[in-house]
Structure 1
Amino acid sequence: MKRLSAAGWALPLYSVLLYAFLYLPIAVIVLFAFDAKAIPGLPLTAFTTDWFGASLADGRLVGSLLTSIRLALLAAVLSTALAMPAAMVLAWRPVRMKSLVLCLVLGPVVLPQLVLGLGLTVLFRAAPDLVGQPAIVLAHTTMTSSYATLMLYSRFLGFRRSYIEAAMNLGANEFVAFREVVLPLIAPALVAVLLLAFTDAFGEFVVAWFLAGFTETLPIAIWTSLRQVISPKIYALSALVIVATLAISVSAQIWILGQSRRESEH
């Protein structure tokens, strides 16, 4: 009984410590966003919300934020669109040496970003006009499409193809069956992949720094500020990004759970 009671409180305590370790840096950023001092630090003597207005009034910061959002959204949409047919082929068609193909698909993910960034820099020397935003989008698409393919591949492996056969027996062609049967059923997986790809592309710095040229994304703007004293505006804008990201993630998770519940009921 003593062992059971010890295990009963040890596991929750471990979980609390783990989550505290994971979220402590985020909590520090949010806390410093309210620090009234020009150079944030502990202890906090006074609180203010002025830095939020100042960050949104900073054209450079807002411009880099909008650039990151736009490029990450393009990369997420492209990687999801590329990953879906590739995952369908890998899951539903006989592919020779499938294990090797899957390892090659995973390559850009396991490859160090420093090496990948250097390789892409050399590659884009052949097309210098693409350096900047097009190069960043292509690089992020390459990186995110790898795990997008693997995530959708696992979803298609568990897909009941009898639904498609039933739809085609009722007169639907392949396109109609895909639109009316496949897409609604894999929509939760598509949303999850899209959000994950967007988040990864939005916060990626190393490869973007190699290919940015004169383009400044939010991670590059933050890194530039690190060479000096970090402005409280950086903390304020980061806090806004954290809140927006958590709100989108929670909303998407609620929607995905609702869709999964409806699917299980049917």
Structure 2
Amino acid sequence: MSARSSLLQERGGFALLSLYAVLIYLFLYLPIAVIVLFAFDAKPIPGLPLDTLTTGWFVEALRDQKLTGSLLTSLRLAVVSAILSTLLAMPAAMVLAWLPIRFKSLVMAMVLGPVVLPQLVLGLGLVILLRSAPDLVGEPAIILAHTTITSSYATLILYSRFLGFRRSYIEAAMNLGASELVVFREVILPLVRPALISVFMLAFTDAFGEFVVAWFVAGFTETLPITIWTSLRQVISPKVYALSSVIILVTLAISLVSQLWVIRQTRLTSKVQTS
């Protein structure tokens, strides 16, 4: 009898946990589903119930020069910011993980600063800083702001990866006569490539959708989040829903493909390390 009651309690706990997980995922993904659904609504002001479905808003969104221009601007700035963040984070993570540093906890706290600070405070600080260099306001300032934010957690992610890195591979390669450049290119990079790609994708996603800090330093530059926020002052055009749906679907596809690739590379790396 006790075994049966224990089994029933276990099943009940599993059912409650499953229900909780379903509710969490509904809370996270229901707004995204609503955006995609309203993108196909034929009415100029989308809403429920849907009367007629159409794909015309996708064509209108691609013809809107303001939307497509801000989209291309966001893509360009996000790519540059992600590249700079990855390039800055890798040597910083290597130094923090491999070299003895005094007051490492203080250094790590400073690295984490841009992530912990409210974006409102960071944006205000950048505005004050840019008063001495007004020519940087616009795209250079946005790149600087996004790189500052994303390089912090990029460093932390790569730091955890380098902590588990086997230094014996480097020592073995150098004992065989390989130079430091060859060791870096042939040993270190292949083993940390999955982490680098993950960091780049995460930095790109964050920089692409960041709004608060970009709003402070954008000047006359309009990124896609700024353009969408400006449209919120009036009735949201269905073209915004259509373009957002395309971005959502493309982002999910890229995320899925990259995660599958990273998982595959991680397994191959684990096999190499254990062999």
Confirm or deny a common fold (TM above 0.5). Answer: yes
1:103 corresponds in structure 2 to: 109
Matched, 1:17 2:19: no
1:140 to 132, 136, 146: 146
Query: Number of aligned pairs?
Result: 266
2:56 corresponds in structure 1 to: 50
Q: Please list, as runs of the form range in 1=range in 2, the aligned pairs for 1:168-183 lying within 5 A after superposition.
A: 168-183=174-189
1:264 to 255, 264, 270: 270
- Deviation, 1:65, is 0.2
2:4 corresponds in structure 1 to: none
Q: State the Cα RMSD in Å.
A: 0.7
1:26 corresponds in structure 2 to: 32
SS of the residue 1:45 aligns to: coil
2:243 corresponds in structure 1 to: 237
Query: What TM-score, normalized to structure 1?
Result: 0.99
Q: Please list, as runs of the form range in 1=range in 2, the aligned pairs for 1:1-266 lying within 5 A after superposition.
A: 1-266=7-272
SS of the residue 1:162 aligns to: helix
- Deviation, 1:177, is 0.3
Distance 1:146 1:130 in 2: 22
SS of the residue 2:131 aligns to: helix
Query: What TM-score, normalized to structure 2?
Result: 0.96
Deviations along 1:190-213, whole A, 9 cap, x unmatched? 000000000000000011011111
- What letter corresponds to residue 51 of structure 2 in structure 1? T
- Deviation, 1:263, is 1.2
SS of the residue 1:126 aligns to: coil
- Deviation, 1:232, is 0.1
Distance 1:121 1:41 in 2: 39
Distance 1:265 1:150 in 2: 25
Q: Post-superposition, which runs of at least 4 consecutive aligned residues in structure 1 deviate over 4 A?
A: none
Structure 2: any 5+ residue segments left out of the alignment? 1-6
Which structure has the bigger radius of gyration?
2
